[in-house]
C-alpha cells in the first residue's frame, strides 16, 4: 500500500510538472502571437493589409506610385486617344490629318504652330484647335475651286489672325512673368514694341476683313439680282408651271410629252 502511494505521488508530481511546462510554453507562444490558429487582436487585419500592399506594389497600384516608365506610357496612351479623336473628326470633313498638316506647313505655318502647340497640350483644346483649322482648310479648298485669288486673300487674313493671337499671348505672358519677377519697369520698352506690332497687325486685319466682307456683299447682291430675275420669269409662266406640277402629282405627265 505504501508503495502504491509513493507511485501515485510520483505520477501526480510528474503530471503537475508537465502541465506547468505546457502552460509556460503556451504563454510564451501567446506572447509571441504564435499559437496555432491564434492571432493578437488586429494582427490579422495588419497582415492582410501588408499582403494587399505587397500585391498592389507588384501590380504597380500603390497610391501615388507607378512603375518606371508607366507614366510615360499612360501619357502616350492619352495623347493617342486625342489623336484618334482628331483623325476621326478630320475624316468626317473628308480631310486627312496629314493632308492638313502638309498644307499648313507649306502655306500657313502660323496655323501649324497653333495645331502642334495644342496637340502637345492635349485635351479638349487640342481637338477644338484642330477642328477650327480643318474648317478653315475646307473653306479654303472650296474657295480655291471657284476663285483662287479670293481664296489666297482669305487665307492671308486667317494667317494674320493666328499671328495676332500669338502676339497677344506673348505680350500677356511677358508682362505676367515680369510682374512676378519685379522687372516690369525694365521690360516696358519691349512690351511697348510688341504692343505696337500688334496694333499695326490689327489695322491690316481690319482692312483685309473689310475687303472680304465687301466681296461677300457683292456676291450676295449678284445672287439677289439672279433670284429676282428667276422670280419674275416664274410669275410670267405661272399657268404653265402650275399645269406641269399638277400633271406630275396626278400622274398625267404623259399628256404633256412631245
Tell me what pLDDT residue 117 has.
Answer: 87
Tell me what pLDDT residue 107 has.
Answer: 94
Cβ proximity of 157 and 205 under 8 Å: yes
Same domain, 135 and 181: no
Cell of 91: 475624316
DSSP 8-class letter at 35: S
Spatial CA neighbour of 127 closest among 157, 97, 156, 98: 97
Same domain, 159 and 126: no
Same domain, 156 and 188: yes
Same domain, 201 and 237: no
254 within some domain: yes
Where are the alpha helices (H) located in the chain, listed in sequence order? 2-32, 43-59, 70-92, 97-107, 109-121, 123-146, 148-181, 184-236, 238-250
Split into its structural domains, the chain has a count of 3
Same domain, 138 and 90: yes
Sign of CA dihedral 127, 132, 135, 136: negative
51 within some domain: no
- For residue 215, is pLDDT > 50? yes
CA 237, chain centre distance (Å): 58
119 within some domain: yes
- For residue 45, is pLDDT > 80? no
27 within some domain: no
- Residues 97, 81: Cα–Cα separation, whole Å: 14
Tell me what pLDDT residue 50 has.
Answer: 61
Q: At what angle do helices 123-146 and 97-107 cross, to 10 degrees?
A: 70
- Residues 9, 238: Cα–Cα separation, whole Å: 138
* Longest CA span, the chain: 151
Residues sharing a CB contact under 8 Å with residue 158, sequence separation 6 or more, in sequence order: 108, 111, 136
Question: pLDDT tens digits, residue range 150-208?
Answer: 999 999 999 999 999 999 999 999 999 999 999 989 999 999 999 999 999 999 999 99
Q: At what angle do helices 238-250 and 184-236 cross, to 10 degrees?
A: 90
Domain assignment of residue 233, given as a range: 227-258
239 within some domain: yes
Tell me what pLDDT residue 180 has.
Answer: 92
71 within some domain: no
26 within some domain: no
Specify the higher pLDDT residue, 42 or 96: 96
Same domain, 182 and 237: no
Spatial CA neighbour of 163 closest among 120, 211, 212, 208: 208
Tell me what pLDDT residue 153 has.
Answer: 94
Tell me what pLDDT residue 59 has.
Answer: 53
- Quick one: average pLDDT of 118-143? 87
Residues sharing a CB contact under 8 Å with residue 139, sequence separation 6 or more, in sequence order: 154
Tell me what pLDDT residue 7 has.
Answer: 53
Cβ proximity of 82 and 122 under 8 Å: yes
Same domain, 111 and 121: yes
Specify the higher pLDDT residue, 114 or 46: 114
Spatial CA neighbour of 246 closest among 234, 236, 238, 235: 238
Same domain, 157 and 133: no
Same domain, 141 and 164: no
Tell me what pLDDT residue 225 has.
Answer: 96
- Residues 189, 192: Cα–Cα separation, whole Å: 5
Tell me what pLDDT residue 252 has.
Answer: 75
> What confidence category does residue 123 fall into, taking pLDDT thresholds of 50, 70 and 90?
confident
> What confidence category does residue 235 fall into, taking pLDDT thresholds of 50, 70 and 90?
very high
Same domain, 98 and 109: yes
Tell me what pLDDT residue 86 has.
Answer: 85
> What confidence category does residue 233 fall into, taking pLDDT thresholds of 50, 70 and 90?
very high
70 within some domain: no
Question: pLDDT tens digits, residue range 3-39?
Answer: 545 555 545 555 555 555 556 665 566 555 544 445 5
Same domain, 156 and 191: yes
Same domain, 155 and 203: yes
Amino acid at each position: 500500500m505504501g508503495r502504491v502511494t509513493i507511485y501515485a505521488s510520483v505520477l501526480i508530481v510528474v503530471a503537475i510538472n508537465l502541465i506547468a511546462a505546457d502552460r509556460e510554453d503556451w504563454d510564451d507562444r501567446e506572447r509571441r502571437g504564435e499559437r496555432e490558429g491564434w492571432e493578437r487582436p488586429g494582427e490579422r487585419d495588419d497582415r492582410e493589409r501588408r499582403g494587399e500592399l505587397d500585391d498592389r506594389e507588384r501590380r504597380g497600384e500603390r497610391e501615388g506610385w507607378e512603375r518606371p516608365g508607366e507614366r510615360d506610357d499612360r501619357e502616350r496612351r492619352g495623347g493617342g486617344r486625342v489623336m484618334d479623336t482628331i483623325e476621326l473628326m478630320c475624316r468626317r470633313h473628308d480631310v486627312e490629318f496629314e493632308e492638313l498638316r502638309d498644307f499648313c506647313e507649306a502655306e500657313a505655318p502660323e496655323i501649324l504652330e497653333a495645331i502642334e502647340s495644342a496637340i502637345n497640350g492635349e485635351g479638349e483644346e487640342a481637338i477644338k484647335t484642330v477642328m477650327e483649322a480643318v474648317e478653315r482648310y475646307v473653306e479654303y479648298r472650296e474657295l480655291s475651286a471657284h476663285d483662287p485669288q479670293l481664296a489666297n486673300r482669305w487665307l492671308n487674313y486667317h494667317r494674320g489672325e493666328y499671328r495676332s493671337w500669338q502676339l497677344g499671348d506673348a505680350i500677356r505672358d511677358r508682362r505676367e512673368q515680369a510682374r512676378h519677377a519685379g522687372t516690369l519697369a525694365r521690360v516696358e520698352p519691349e512690351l511697348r514694341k510688341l504692343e505696337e506690332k500688334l496694333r499695326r497687325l490689327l489695322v491690316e486685319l481690319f482692312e483685309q476683313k473689310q475687303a472680304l466682307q465687301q466681296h461677300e456683299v457683292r456676291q450676295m447682291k449678284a445672287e439677289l439680282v439672279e433670284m429676282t430675275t428667276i422670280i419674275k420669269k416664274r410669275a410670267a409662266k405661272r399657268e404653265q408651271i402650275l399645269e406641269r406640277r399638277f400633271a406630275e402629282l396626278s400622274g398625267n405627265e404623259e399628256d404633256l410629252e412631245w
